Structures are given as structure tokens and as C-alpha cells.
Amino acid sequence: MSGVNKNIVILISGSGSNMAAIAKLAQQRHWRERFGARVVAVLSNKADAPGLAIAREQGIATAVLDHKGHPSREAFDAALMAEIDRHEPALVVLAGFMRILTAGFVTHYEGRLINIHPSLLPAFTGLNTHRRAIDMGCRFAGCTVHRVTSELDHGDILDQAVVPVLPGDTAQALAERVLTQEHVMYPRVIERLLEKMASSNEG
């Protein structure tokens, strides 16, 4: 790790709305001045991910690594690790990155890799979380920020936000309300992690 810099690399596959929320709070709350932390790169496995344009508009470096151009998950993850490691990250943040990562990748970033999942884990791991919550008659749904382990959607829970399931809810309507909470919670969790890093460095 170079000096006291706490570089953040964010991985996306789509709109990048959580990435944008993180970058916005980083500026508003002066992460660079307070923690030596900034979002240094946004990487995507999809060249047409709208979030890449948002990142570029904010002056954040971007790169695309198309998983289809690699012969295996392991080969793709190795290329992805090489690109991430160029930035010497203190945190690698998954923000709508729609790839299941290999155990080797997860181990390489152990303690530095976090994800947000659109359910109240351990309920509804995997996909279609909102539809499944509605179909099961859940009164509440939400989202979870957790450390990433080799087991899908497991790992220590860092925070959760609860959203009520309303009568007549559609999966889309519920997803939009949950996403609003994601945009609040995910940046705040990252700020708390940066605060802990700063205090441990002082100690």
C-alpha cells in the first residue's frame, strides 16, 4: 500500500448508481482530506455499462474487461486482479458487478472486498430477490452490505436497511425503494470502514 492513500476501486456491470452515490459522498464529506481516500477507478465487464460514462464525467479512471474474451472464470479474474492491483486498493467495492468471483479472487482481496446485496441476508441469496420476497409474503425486504467470502452472499454483515413490502407491490416498485436505501447505506458503510482504518493507523 502506498503511503497513507486509501484508494477505492469500484466494480460495476450496469447503471453505476451505487458507484455514483459513493463518489458523491466521498466529495461531500471530504474523504480525501480526512482519510487520504478517493475513488481512483471504476471497472466494468461490460463496455456499454452506463455507469462508465458517469465515472468519466467525474474524472474517475475507467477500464473495461470483457469476460467473454477470456477462456475461463479464472483467466478473467486473473486479468481483473491485474487491473485492480495497478491502483493499490485499500477497498474493492462491488456495486452491481454481475459476476460470481472465483475463490482465488476473493482470497486475494480478503478483508478489502465488500458487496451490497438487495435482500436482508441471509434471506434470499442470489437473484430475483424482490420477486421472491413478495412471493413468500414477506412484510419487509431491504439490502445488506457484507464482506465477500468464497460462499455466495455470505460473509460478515456490515449493515442492513429495512424497507416495508407494501400491498400490491411489484418487484420493480420494491426494487426502486430498496435502491434508494442502498444509495444512503453503502457510502456510509465505506466511510465507517475508512474511519476504522484511519484510527488503526493512528494507533
Query: DSSP assignment of 60-113, as one string?
Result: -EEEE--GGGSSSHHHHHHHHHHHHHTT-EEEEEESS---PPPHHHHHHTTTTE
pLDDT at 75 over 80: yes
In the prediction, which pLDDT does 130 show? 98
Cβ atoms of 159 and 132 within 8 Å: the answer is no
130 is catalytic: no
Catalytic residue (one of 87, 117, 130, 146): 117
In the prediction, which pLDDT does 203 show? 57
Task: Give the residue-averaged pLDDT of 83-110.
Answer: 96
Task: Give the residue-averaged pLDDT of 104-123.
Answer: 97
- Burial label for 58, CB within 10 Å (0-12, 13-18, 19+), is middle
Rounded Cα–Cα distance for residues 43 and 20 (Å): 13
Cβ atoms of 5 and 36 within 8 Å: the answer is yes
pTM of the model: 0.94
Domains of the chain, with CATH numbers?
6-202 (3.40.50.170)
Going from the C-alpha of 191 to that of each of 115, 177, 184, the distances in angstroms are: 14, 22, 11
